C-alpha cells in the first residue's frame, strides 16, 4: 500500500514539472537580433515597370539637387555671350552696358549693339532685352509703326539719372530707326566720334541769348553732326554763359545722343524731327543754324580742331544772333 502511494506521488510531481516546462516555453519569446529584421520593413523594392526609373524615392539623395539654369538667347554680335542667369543684377547690367558702349557689339554706326536699322527684326532685339529682364514699353504710332522704349542702368558718370534710354521704331517687325542716349560715354565723346567716323556732312548749332535768372543765367547749347553716308545724326548738349556779347560753346565733354536709320532713306533734320523721339520737335528745327552761319568756322576747320583728344578750344557765336 505504501509503495503504491509513492508511485502516485511521483506521477503527480512529474506532471507538474512537465506543465511548468511547457508554460515557460510559451510565455518567453527570444528577442530577435537586428539581422533578423526583414529588408522590406526599411526599404521598398523598386517598381519593375521599364517606364519608371529604378530609384527608391523614399531615400533622400546625399547630394542636393542642382536647379537647371536657362541660358541667354544667342546674340547676333560678338560682345554678348550667353550667361548662366536670365536676369542681371544692377551691377552686372551696368557692366554689360559699359562694355557695349565701348565696342558697340563689334559693329559700327548705324548698327547699334548688333541691331542694324532696315535689317534686324524687332524679335531679335526683344529676345536680348528679355534676357536682361527688360520689358520695353510699346506705343502704336498712327503712322503705322510701333515704337518701343527701354531704359538701361549705367553709372552716374555716364548719366546723372543713372540710366539711359533707347527707342526703336519698328515697322512689320523690322527696326527702321533707333534713337539712343550715350550720355558722357568716352566712346561717343566728340573727339572719339570724329576720329572714328571722320568729317561730318553738315553741322548745326542752337543756343539762346538770355534765359530767366534761374540757374544763374546758364545757357544750354545744342550741336548737331550729320553723317549722311553713315546714316546717323549725333547731338551734343552742353551748358554755357554769355560773355561780352559772345556765347562760347565747348562740346568736348557734352552729353550725346544718336539717331540711326536704315539704308535708302535720305533723312533731313525735318524728317528726323518728324519721328518725334529724343526731344527734337519739328517746330525747333528752324532755330538751328549752320556752323558757317553761326560762327566763322568751316566744317573742315571744326573737324581738324575737335578731333584732337586734348583740344580745349571752344566755339563762339554772337549772343545777338540768338
Maximum Cα–Cα distance across the chain: 162
* Under 8 Å between Cβ of 97 and 89: no
Please give the Cα distance from 227 to 199 (Å, whole number). 8
The angle, 0 to 180 degrees and rounded to 10, between the axes of the packed helices 190-197 and 299-306 is 110
Residue-wise pLDDT for 122-153, tens only, equals: 999 999 999 889 999 999 999 899 999 999 99
Position with higher pLDDT, 217 vs 121: 121
Asked whether residue 206 carries a pLDDT value surpassing 70, the answer given is yes
pLDDT at position 216 is: 57
Residue-wise pLDDT for 238-271, tens only, equals: 999 999 999 999 999 899 999 999 998 889 999 9
Residue-wise pLDDT for 11-66, tens only, equals: 434 444 433 433 444 444 444 443 343 333 333 433 443 443 434 433 333 333 33
Average pLDDT of the residues of the chain:
79
Amino acid at each position: 500500500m505504501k509503495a503504491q502511494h509513492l508511485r502516485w506521488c511521483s506521477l503527480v510531481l512529474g506532471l507538474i514539472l512537465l506543465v511548468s516546462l511547457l508554460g515557460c516555453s510559451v510565455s518567453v519569446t527570444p528577442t530577435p537580433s537586428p539581422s533578423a529584421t526583414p529588408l522590406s520593413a526599411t526599404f521598398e523594392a523598386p517598381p519593375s515597370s521599364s517606364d519608371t526609373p529604378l530609384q527608391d524615392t523614399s531615400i533622400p539623395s546625399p547630394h542636393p539637387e542642382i536647379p537647371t539654369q536657362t541660358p541667354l538667347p544667342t546674340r547676333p554680335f560678338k560682345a554678348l555671350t550667353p550667361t548662366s542667369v536670365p536676369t542681371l543684377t544692377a551691377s552686372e547690367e551696368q557692366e554689360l552696358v559699359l562694355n557695349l558702349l565701348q565696342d558697340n557689339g563689334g559693329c559700327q554706326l548705324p548698327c547699334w549693339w548688333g541691331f542694324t536699322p532696315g535689317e534686324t527684326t524687332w524679335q531679335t532685339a526683344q529676345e536680348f532685352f528679355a534676357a536682361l529682364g527688360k520689358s520695353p514699353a510699346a506705343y502704336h504710332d498712327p503712322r503705322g509703326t510701333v515704337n518701343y522704349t527701354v531704359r538701361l542702368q549705367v553709372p552716374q558718370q555716364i548719366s546723372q539719372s543713372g540710366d539711359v534710354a533707347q527707342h526703336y521704331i519698328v515697322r512689320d517687325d523690322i527696326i527702321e530707326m533707333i534713337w539712343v542716349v550715350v550720355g558722357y560715354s568716352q566712346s561717343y565723346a566728340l573727339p572719339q566720334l570724329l576720329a572714328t567716323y571722320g568729317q561730318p556732312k553738315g553741322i548745326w548749332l542752337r543756343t539762346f541769348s538770355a534765359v530767366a535768372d534761374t540757374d544763374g543765367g546758364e545757357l544750354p547749347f545744342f550741336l548737331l553732326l550729320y553723317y549722311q553716308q553713315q546714316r546717323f545724326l549725333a547731338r551734343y548738349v552742353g551748358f554755357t554763359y554769355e560773355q561780352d556779347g559772345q556765347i562760347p560753346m565747348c562740346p568736348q565733354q557734352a552729353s550725346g545722343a544718336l539717331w540711326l536709320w536704315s539704308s535708302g532713306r535720305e533723312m533731313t533734320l525735318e524728317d528726323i524731327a518728324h519721328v518725334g523721339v529724343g526731344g527734337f520737335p519739328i517746330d525747333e528745327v528752324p532755330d538751328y543754324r549752320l556752323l558757317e552761319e553761326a560762327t566763322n568756322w568751316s566744317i573742315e576747320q571744326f573737324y581738324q580742331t575737335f578731333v584732337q583728344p586734348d583740344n580745349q578750344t571752344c566755339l563762339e557765336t554772337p549772343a545777338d544772333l540768338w
